[in-house]
Every structure is written in C-alpha cells, then in structure tokens.
Structure 1
Amino acid sequence: MRLTDAQWTVLAPLFPQPFKRTNRGRPRRPDREVLDGILWILRTGAQWYALPKDEYPSKTTCHDRFQEWNEQNVFPKILAALYELGEEDQVLDLREAFIDGTFSPAKKGARVSAQPKKGKGTKIMVIVDASGVPLAIHTTSASPAEVRLVHDTLDASFGLDFPKRLIGDKAYDSDGLDAELAAVGVEMIAPNRRNRRKTQDGRPLRRYKRRWKVERTIAWLQSFRRIRTRDEVKAQNFLGFVQLGCIVILLRMVRCLPVQ
C-alpha cells in the first residue's frame, strides 16, 4: 500500500512542519516515505521489525514518527480536514447515518480493555453517513453495551454536524437514548427488542434495511490486519491505527483517490 501523488498532494499540507534541528545528524526522512512504511504495517499487521528495509525507512524511524504524530494528534486533525473536503465536494449525506460496533481481540496486555464473553479485546464504534463515509470513530473497553457508547462516538465525530437520523440495530433500542438524542435534534431509529413495547412504526424502519453500509465500512476497516487484531499495548496507538484506516477510506471516497 503506497500513497499516490494525488493523495499526497491532499495530505502533505496537513502534516506539521518538523522542528528545526540544532545538532548534526542524519537528515530527517520525508514524511511521505515514513507514512508509506506505517501504511504497510497497517495493511499487513506485521511487527515493526518486519518492515522491508529496501523499500521503506527503518522500523525505528517509522515507529518513532508514528508515535510523534499520535502525540501531536495529527490523525484526528487530518480526519477533520478530510471531512471538510467531503463537505466541499458535496459527497457527505447527513440526512441519515448508521452506527455499529465491532470487536478486535487483543494479543497483548492492552491497558484499556476488558475480558467479555468474546475474550480480551477492544470495541470499535463507527458512525457512517448515508453513503458509508466514516463520520466518527471511538475505541474503548469491550465491556460497556453499545447503547452506552453512542454519545462518546458522536463526540468523536470528525466534524461538527450531527446527522438528522441515526440508525442502529436492536442494541440501540432505548427510550432514554431516544430522548437524549432528540434533545440535540437527532432521531434514533432502531428495531424494538422482543421484550420491549413497540415504539417504532414501519415507515422509519425501512431505513434500517440500508444498515449494511456501516457493516461494509467496518469490513473495510477490518481488512487492515493491524486493526482486525490489536497488537498495541497502548490504547492511543491502537486508536491511531484505526484513525489511519479511516483516513485511507476517506481518501478513497471523498476525493476518489485509490491507494496503490
């Protein structure tokens, strides 16, 4: 996986300028080369030491730059900028959005994690627009129910606009959640659980049939092996890889810039 010239033209202005070095040493490797190496790790799920030495910068360079960008919150800023580009290109459709969660098992001792029935791992919450463009991403312990994570996921949005309707499965069937979202102008649409009284009529629920769009986006994220299984001990590092996966998806969908 390598960035195309068109993609780098979009991304280059969004990376921070490096601090001027006062001491002598090796010149700093270009951000594009390093990012290509990090994307190779994202796609393959390999360990840093497995980076092909003849194709990418050293594992130390790529890992340190990844840590540096994570600490500077570079990836969320890029996502926000790509979100704005999507609005300019009029490819975002906020008339409705879809929410769902997925689970990434953890191989190592993840600090923000839990041991639910599926085993130790991390939950990834995703919101996409009517076209499947990712709007928000949130990672947390796998223990809390998804209905309790809706607000945190909305707060993690790449932009400031809330969708008019938020559509989920039966896990989001809650009178309390319906009322809370209605207060901020969002209609929650979810089929009722068996033990619940009927609160949704047939007309809004027709939108539920399009929930496959969020499932498709989750499948795209899970195609990156570094996201499918969590190898990072630090929660921030794992979130950084998930955000990077969203950046790749947004580049494909917003500016129609496929990755080589």
Structure 2
Amino acid sequence: MAKRVESWVVTDEFWQRVELLIPARSAADKIYVRKPGAGRPPKPARLVFEAIVYVLRTGCQWKALPKERFGSASAVHKRFLEWEAAGFFEDLWKAGLAEYDQMEGIAWRWQSVDGAMMKAPLAQEAVGRNPTDGGKKRGSKRHLLVDGRGVPLSLVVTGANVHDCKRLDDVLTTIVVRRKDPRHRRHKHLCADAGYRGAGHLRTIEDHGYIPHVVGRRTEADIKQRDPNKKARRWVVEVCHSWFNRFRKLLVRYEKLERSFVALNHLAAAIIAFRKVPTDVNIIYG
C-alpha cells in the first residue's frame, strides 16, 4: 500500500524551482554575532517554505504550527516577513507564469476579471464594511485578472466596500508578466459581469487594448441555452477564486497586515500556475 503524502508537502521537483529564488540571508542583517558554535543553527529554507505552505493550506494560526515538525513558529513567521519584504512570493508567481507560458502558453486572447469578498475580522489594513450583510461585519476583497484557462495574471486586495470598477485600472495595469501585445486590438478580449457596465468602465477596458464583453450572469446563461455550442468564457475567473479559497488561510482573512495577506495570495497564485504545467507539485488547491 502506497504511503499517503500530505497535500502541503513540497516535492523535490517543486523545491528545485523554489530554491533558486530564496533570498540570501545577509550577515549585515544580524543585530549581534554569536560565538562560534553557540546558539541554534538557522532553519533550512526548505523547512521554512514547507511550514509557510502548511499554514496557507491548512489555515492554522502561525503559533499553531506543529513544533515537532517545524520548530519555532516565531522563527518561521520572521523568515516569512523577510521573504515578503524581498519580493520572493511575487517572484515565485512570476516564475510559475513564465514556465506555464513556456510549456502551455498563456491564453492571452480571452481574459476575465472579477472580485470576491472574504471575512476579515482581525484585519487592520485593506479592510472595509461588507456591503452584502448591511455593513455589520468587516471584510476584504480580492480582485483577479485571469487568462483563458483561469490562471491568475494580476491580483489586487482592497476592502470589501470597494467596488470592483474602482480598481479595474489597477488590476489591468499590474499584470505580473509581460503581455504579448497583439498586432491588432481584436486579438484580445476581456470578459466581465454586469458590475463593470458603464461608459467609463468600458472606456478603461478599451484603453488597455481589450474588446469588452460585459454581460450579466442571467444573460450569459440565456445565450448559452439558446446556443449550446457557444463557449462560456467569463466563468474561469470564478473558478480561479474557488481555487484560492481551497487554501484555507485565504478563505477567511486573519492576517492583520495587508502585505502579509497579499504575500499569501501571491504564493497561492504561484502554486496554481505551477500546477498548470507538467510539474510534480503535490500541493492541492482544488
């Protein structure tokens, strides 16, 4: 009987890609210098990365990390903040998209955009009253731009009370990989729901070189019912949001700082991208 492997374990093949991007620790960062042989040796980078993935996948608190496997939780969280400051998680996302583009090709022709809210009871930044429950509870919103297969290309986090259209320009501007500008504008389409309807929002979409396809969900369903051969395209962004929610640390936001929550989202986006290429990535998101 094959031994069960937990869904947060980092495989050797995945680690080979991650290891190249791990920020080097500078001796100048030390506040003091230990005597030779004194103190504990630093945690291996792979163990730290696996601990971060464990938190992301299971949704546990940082202090609840299994000490018998990962050691000091505060040391893991400290390295997490160091890597976030160095831009490691966004770089890993870019690396995943680059390999995905090389192996499969980013589906630039049809893209989709949408936002999704989550509860944020402890957040201190990028948080607002959730309009879906009358503003009784606080929440955050993740704005996504995905390609034709649902792979995330851009991600912005705001308060739950920020309308999707308010950050549309930011989402379309902050694509983390270089876009292949088509020779003709009709080679690039953007699908969105009725929340993006409006002359100003359509103009924003067109200014970024897209042909807008903004229809309501009911209208989209009616079109599909009348023409079963017509391919629905906007739904892939909702699928991508569901992939993010499979990482339990993102389903309900308990991170106080915006940069910590964004870094975890970047790591999830990187895993989604790497799982779209023929790579042995054991981490499950759906």
Corresponding residue number in structure 2 for 1:23: 33
- The aligned counterpart of 2:169 is 151
2:100–2:274 contact (8 Å) kept in structure 1: no
The equivalent of 1:59 in structure 2 is 73
Of the three residues 129, 135, 138, the one matched with 2:156 is 138
One-letter amino acid of the counterpart of residue 176, structure 1: G
* Amino acid paired to 1:31: A
Is 1:248 paired with 2:258? Answer: no
2:105 to 75, 91, 98: 91
Count residues with an aligned counterpart: 250
Q: Secondary structure at the match of 1:104?
A: strand
Structure 2 Cα separation of the partners of residues 113 and 3 of structure 1: 32
Distance 1:33 1:192 in 2: 46
Q: Secondary structure at the match of 2:250?
A: helix
1:109 is displaced (CA, Å) by 4.1
C-alpha RMSD of the superposition: 2.2
Residue aligned with 2:144, SS: strand
1:81 offset after TM fit, Å?
2.1
Asked whether the 8 Å contact 1:33–1:57 carries over to 2, the reply is no
Measured after TM superposition, the shift of residue 16 of structure 1 is: 1.5
- Which residue, 75, 78, 82 being the options, matches 2:92? 78
Question: Partners of 1:87 and 1:218 in 2: how far apart?
Answer: 21
Work out whether residues 128 and 161 of structure 2, in 8 Å CA contact, stay in contact via their aligned partners in 1: yes
Task: Please list, as runs of the form range in 1=range in 2, the aligned pairs for 1:1-12 lying within 5 A after superposition.
Answer: 1-12=8-19
Which runs of no fewer than 5 residues in structure 1 stay unpaired? Answer: 195-201
- Kindly state the Cα deviation for residue 193 of structure 1 after the two structures are TM-superposed: 9.8
Q: Measure the CA separation in 2 of the matches of 1:65 and 1:101.
A: 30
TM-score (norm 2): 0.81
Residues 119 and 139 of structure 2 are in contact (CA less than 8 Å); yes or no, is this contact kept in structure 1? yes
Give distance in 2, aligned partners of 1:79 and 1:108: 26
The 1-side partners of 2:217 and 2:116 are apart by: 20
Q: 1:189 to 1:162 in 2, by over 3 A?
A: farther
- Give the match's secondary structure for 1:189: strand
- Report the Cα offset of residue 38 of structure 1: 0.9
Letter in structure 2 aligned against 1:152: D
Identity %: 28
User: What displacement does 1:242 show?
Assistant: 1.0
Match of 1:213 among 236, 247, 250: 236
Would you say the 8 A contact 2:97–2:270 is kept in 1? no
Query: Residue 44 of structure 1 contacts residue 224 of structure 1 at CA under 8 Å; is this kept in 2?
Result: yes
CA pair 192-108 structure 1, distance change in 2 beyond 3 A: closer
Which residue of 2 is the match for residue 197 of structure 1? Answer: none
Contact 2:125 2:258 in 1 (8 A): yes
Is the 1:167–1:190 contact (alpha carbons within 8 Å) kept by the matching residues of 2? Answer: yes
Match of 2:221 in 1: none
Partner of 1:47: 61
User: Could you tell me which of 170, 180, 183 is aligned with 2:204?
Assistant: 180
CA distance in 2, matches of 1:248, 1:180: 30
Compute the TM-score of the two structures, normalised by the length of structure 1: 0.88
The residue matched to 1:54 in structure 2 has which SS? helix
User: Do structure 1's residue 101 and structure 2's residue 111 form an aligned pair?
Assistant: no
Q: Which runs of 5+ in 2 are unaligned?
A: 1-7, 182-187, 219-225
* Cα offset, 1:110, TM superposition: 2.4
Structure 1 residue 113, shift from structure 2 partner: 0.9
Contact 1:173 1:192 in 2 (8 A): no
> Quick check: 1:37–1:57 contact (8 Å CA) kept in 2?
no
What is the one-letter code of the residue matched to 1:60?
Answer: S
Indicate if the aligned counterparts of 1:173 and 1:193 stay in contact, CA closer than 8 A.
no
Q: CA deviation at 1:226?
A: 0.8
